[in-house]
Amino acid sequence: MQTSDLFNLDFSYLSLPDTFHSLVMPSALDKPELLLFNRQLADELTLNLPDAEDAKSILSQLGDFSKSYAQAYAGHQFGHFANLGDGRAIMIGEHITKDQNRFDIQIKGSGRTDYSRRGDGRATLKAMLREYLISEAMHHLKISSSRSLAVINTNETVYRETVHQGAALLRVMKSHIRVGTFEYASHLGSLEDLKALTIYTIKRLYPEIELDNKAAIHLLKRVMIAQIELVVNWMRVGFIHGVMNTDNSAISGETFDYGPCAFMNAYNPSTVFSSIDQNRRYAYGNQPKIIKWNLACFAEALLPIIDENKQKSIELAQEVIDDFDVIWNHKYYEMMLGKVGIKSNNSDHWELIDELLRLMQNHKMDYTNTFLALSKEVGSETKALQSDFFSPWMEKRKRILDSLNSNEDARQLMKANNPVFIPRNHLVEEALDQAIKGDMSTYLELIDVLSRPYNYQDNRELFLKPSATTFEENYQTFCGT
């Protein structure tokens, strides 16, 4: 059996004009060895896999792909337009599951492509283990995300700031088409290219949209809603993507490109961990503003096909983007009120959330554990919630809650919205450091804890604790290693 036999491959993306891809084979990996395999995901995808031993032998010889390719795209990186493309990832095709769902299967870290520029096309073992861990954690947190099917260890030496061991990741996603793919078509391709991409994307991701003269504007609206729902969910769990460039915003509304991402501990909207984000552009609290900006880039890319009249196109696109703030506020506050057990989308109650966040920021309270203390009366913030500075807020919350929903409804809402366990930065780093030295036990335990993040798990208090402040102050994440 060969690697491609695992999948039921189709290549619909290759029906787009040639400008959208370049055919490329993954370069041979030196002594590849399957290190991690996501059996649960393999089953969800209905892969043709008799047993785990098969996975080991099949995935240890990546490289027999008939039509593998790299995708072309552009994007705004930290606000600046750049022509990009898959520089270190190769698509081996689209897997069609037994119930007819379509997923891109990509190898990340598989060698250079036409779009590698000065990069080596490789990835480090640590970064691929990190992506596997966080993407799977996000999935179990019930946040739309790319998935990780396998990490393949190689004998490759990868040079970054120091010498690293190389690895490849098998990434699975509904689609890797991004805002940047549309920017590429619009700014560097022809009108026909942009039309073809729009029709293809609608058929693949939003088939309910009719292909009439309003299709582009409907696509813009649908993507805006999908992205708002996604980023609201990031805010819910304290996730900081870290590099929300337009090439990392998926049209499908999935989280992807886990480079310098991290989770916030003490609540502070200006939290940033990424070493390259000097101006805090992608700070936790900026994420709504940035996704709106990215959606404006998407709208701009669609302008040539929204209407034949340029001015009319601008007006129609602007109308959609102008709705962002209203929709954002409703979805964001509804979610935040859910975190404190209140089922309401009445804007009269929004102030309760703003006040809570001010208290949390002023008292440097742990974001996850504040809600945990509120819903389960456990964790590091239990005491703070009983202190004088918090009691007026608690009383106000109780009054609203009692007037709106039952305690049982509140309990259910809080359970659904508040994770007990998130990937704590210091635990992630510790697990990765041990894993790259060859001891996978801590890493696997962390994966296990994070596979049930909404359930309290006995004897796992260690995983609830935020790190020492000094760790957080000095913690830095790195992009694309």
> Active-site residue numbers?
247
Alpha carbon separation from 426 to 129, 213, 431, 462 (Å, rounded): 15, 51, 9, 11
Q: Which is nearer to Mg ion, 244 or 447 (CB)?
A: 244
**b/e code 176-199 from CB counts within 10 Å (16+ = b):** bbbbbbbbbbbeebeeebbbbbbb
Output the six-digit token pair for 243: 């590099």
Q: Which is nearer to Mg ion, 63 or 242 (CB)?
A: 242
Q: Which is nearer to Mg ion, 171 or 349 (CB)?
A: 171
Helix (H, G, I), strand (E, B) or coil at 402: helix
Residue 60 interaction partner, one of Mg ion, ligand AMP, none, beta carbon < 5-8 Å per kind: none
Q: Which is nearer to ligand AMP, 201 or 248 (CB)?
A: 248
Residue 121 interaction partner, one of Mg ion, ligand AMP, none, beta carbon < 5-8 Å per kind: ligand AMP
Distance in Å, CB of 257 to Mg ion, minimum: 4
Distance in Å, CB of 407 to ligand AMP, minimum: 45
Residue 197 interaction partner, one of Mg ion, ligand AMP, none, beta carbon < 5-8 Å per kind: none
Residue 392 interaction partner, one of ligand AMP, Mg ion, none, beta carbon < 5-8 Å per kind: none
For Mg ion, which residue has the nearest CB? Answer: 257
Query: How far is C-alpha 236 from the chain's CA centre?
Result: 13
> Which one-letter DSSP state was computed for residue 233?
H
Distance separating alpha carbons of residues 81 and 89, to the nearest angstrom: 21
Distance in Å, CB of 13 to ligand AMP, minimum: 17
Residue 183 interaction partner, one of Mg ion, ligand AMP, none, beta carbon < 5-8 Å per kind: none
Output the six-digit token pair for 183: 């920017």
Distance separating alpha carbons of residues 121 and 76, to the nearest angstrom: 21
Residues forming the site for ligand AMP (CB under 6 A): 84-88, 115-116, 119-122, 243, 247-248, 257, 259, 479-480
Q: Kindly compute the dihedral angle of the four CA atoms of residues 346, 352, 358, 359, in this order, to the nearest 10 degrees.
A: -160
Distance in Å, CB of 359 to Mg ion, minimum: 37
| CB-based contact 273:242 (threshold 8 Å) | yes
Q: Which is nearer to ligand AMP, 55 or 92 (CB)?
A: 92
Please write down the long-range contacts of 322-328, taking CB distance under 8 Å and 24 or more positions apart: 323/224, 324/224, 324/228, 324/292, 324/295, 325/292, 327/224, 327/225, 327/228, 328/228, 328/232, 328/288, 328/292
Q: Which is nearer to ligand AMP, 63 or 85 (CB)?
A: 85
Distance in Å, CB of 479 to ligand AMP, minimum: 5
Distance in Å, CB of 247 to Mg ion, minimum: 5
Residue 480 interaction partner, one of ligand AMP, Mg ion, none, beta carbon < 5-8 Å per kind: ligand AMP
Alpha carbon separation from 480 to 87, 108, 131 (Å, rounded): 11, 11, 10
Distance separating alpha carbons of residues 359 and 349, to the nearest angstrom: 16
Distance in Å, CB of 471 to ligand AMP, minimum: 25
Distance in Å, CB of 209 to ligand AMP, minimum: 28
Output the six-digit token pair for 218: 């409907």
Q: Which is nearer to ligand AMP, 162 or 470 (CB)?
A: 162
Output the six-digit token pair for 330: 């409703």
Distance in Å, CB of 235 to ligand AMP, minimum: 22
Find the farthest-apart pair of alpha carbons in the chain and give their distance in angstroms, rounded.
Answer: 67
Q: Which is nearer to ligand AMP, 121 or 238 (CB)?
A: 121
Query: How far is C-alpha 335 from the chain's CA centre?
Result: 18
Q: Which helix (H) or strand (E) holds 295?
A: helix 287-306
- 286 φ/ψ angles, rounded to the nearest 5 degrees: -90, -10
Residue 87 interaction partner, one of Mg ion, ligand AMP, none, beta carbon < 5-8 Å per kind: ligand AMP
Residues forming the site for Mg ion (CB under 5 A): 248, 257
| CB-based contact 21:51 (threshold 8 Å) | no
> Which one-letter DSSP state was computed for residue 20?
G
Output the six-digit token pair for 449: 């804890």
Distance separating alpha carbons of residues 44 and 420, to the nearest angstrom: 25
Q: Which is nearer to ligand AMP, 147 or 178 (CB)?
A: 178
